[in-house]
Chains A and B, each alone.
Chain A
């Protein structure tokens, strides 16, 4: 690790931007956190990518961060034809404004464990694809998480991605026919690799730029507390809610709270209820 640090210091001297230095620092921090290791190949590759990544990609990532609440994570029953095993549910990621592109990405990178994370898209090919073609490049593998509209705590962000090589190889194999098709394929792979690189390298630093407060645990509310309408300062007129009225009692459950908990248990005069979103 000491050797890695001195290398990294040398690389930061070459880096032409503060952001790149910051990324390198993150990689080192993660390396130290994960404890002693025999070699630091993964970290070296990441530092390579971190110093080569274009600022335009980093910028796109920043935009993504600000929209990260829009990242909807679902389970993919079938990710194109490349699911690791036919019956397994492969967690995937789905983005509302570029979902087909992303599904293709998750298919051929063979992401098998992916918790809420942040991805940037770019058509600019800036990262050498070779770095992702090593066997079983496993980066920041994290605990298998629940998939939903939720975000990880910042410390969990660096433990997201697990990339495997074989689907990439197969995918490339399938599409090397005509010359034009091939060029397209390579560009596609490159841009996807950029995505992967950005996703691996930048989550923590990009998270820090993000102004949206971090997600809270997605857990049922067992003891809901209520306020009166006049004390309700946290809603605007147009905010969506679920309302229940029974006799003299009316209760409102704001969607923006329900969506963060999944379920609120409550008691009405005629029995217990579960308000779900």
Chain B
């Protein structure tokens, strides 16, 4: 999800092409072409301009509806509605990691299989990828990215991953899952209880809210292509 404005101008995007297996959009206002994975214009008058990423969460309808009972939901247009079931099938298979990179992909970083889903995190100058398959096992990761202590929380029931700056009032906290679903956490410092959305539910820190970080889900081939210096999380590598 991108902020659709650059240099004070609202932008409207249309699909343009694929480069390196990733989508490129063209804006109607200036005709600049934008590489989605970089949120950057790669040609046209706005070449080199970055768009800000708008905070978003990739999750399931069940989980989102629980968290946001008053949510609005985008309505499918006629014709599109009928195809949702078939498209969902493809999307659900997409996270399995099977298959090679599309032949147009430029990067061949073999630290992971090309189609493994990773959650990318950029803090400061550092980009780090957290493989979904690993997160499903470890559930909670305490790490440092770009010098900042962070915590990544994965709730396997809805395959939902959230990330936070783990600092509160200048103190870095470390977290552990409090249940198998990782819907509840506790911090090692105060043993306060937290939910997976960075809110402290009980204990000394009750009411505190961690600052949310934006995770960018994607295939490894695309993430490694557009973040060539990316670090890759593996259990034991956490700082």
Contacts and interface: CB of A to CB of B under 8 A. Distances in A.
Interface of A: 69-70, 72, 74-79, 89, 92, 94, 96, 99-100, 103, 146-149, 212-213, 215-216, 218-222, 224-229, 231-232, 234-245, 248-257, 259-265, 268, 271-276
B159 to A, nearest CB: 8
Nearest to A272: B4
A257 B103 contact: no
Contact of B15 (A148, A228, A245, A252): A148
Given A242-B57, A274-B4, A234 B93 contact: no
A92 B103 contact: yes
6 shortest interchain CB distances as A-B pairs: A237-B62, A250-B68, A74-B102, A76-B103, A226-B72, A256-B84
A201 B21 CA distance: 29
Contacts of A237: 60-62
B3 A273 contact: yes
Q: Is the interface of B mostly helix, strand, loop or mixed?
A: mixed
5 contacts: A149-B90, A226-B73, A229-B70, A257-B74, A275-B56
B133 interface: no
Interface string B32-44: 0000100000000
Contacts of A271: 3-5, 10
Given A252-B72, A253-B74, A274-B11, 19 more contacts: A69-B89, A74-B103, A75-B102, A76-B104, A99-B99, A220-B15, A221-B77, A227-B72, A228-B73, A234-B76, A234-B81, A240-B159, A244-B55, A245-B71, A248-B70, A254-B84, A260-B87, A271-B5, A276-B36
Contact of A276 (B1, B84, B90, B93): B1
Interface string B67-100: 1111111111101111111111111110000111
Nearest to A76: B103
B12 A224 contact: no
Interface of B: 1-5, 10-15, 17-18, 21, 23, 25, 36, 54-62, 64-65, 67-77, 79-93, 98-100, 102-104, 106, 158-159
Contact of B21 (A74, A103, A227, A239): A74
Given A79-B103, A99-B99, A213-B79, A263 B13 contact: yes
Contacts of A261: 80
Given A96-B98, A237-B60, A256 B73 contact: no
A274 B72 CA distance: 17
Contacts of A146: 15, 17
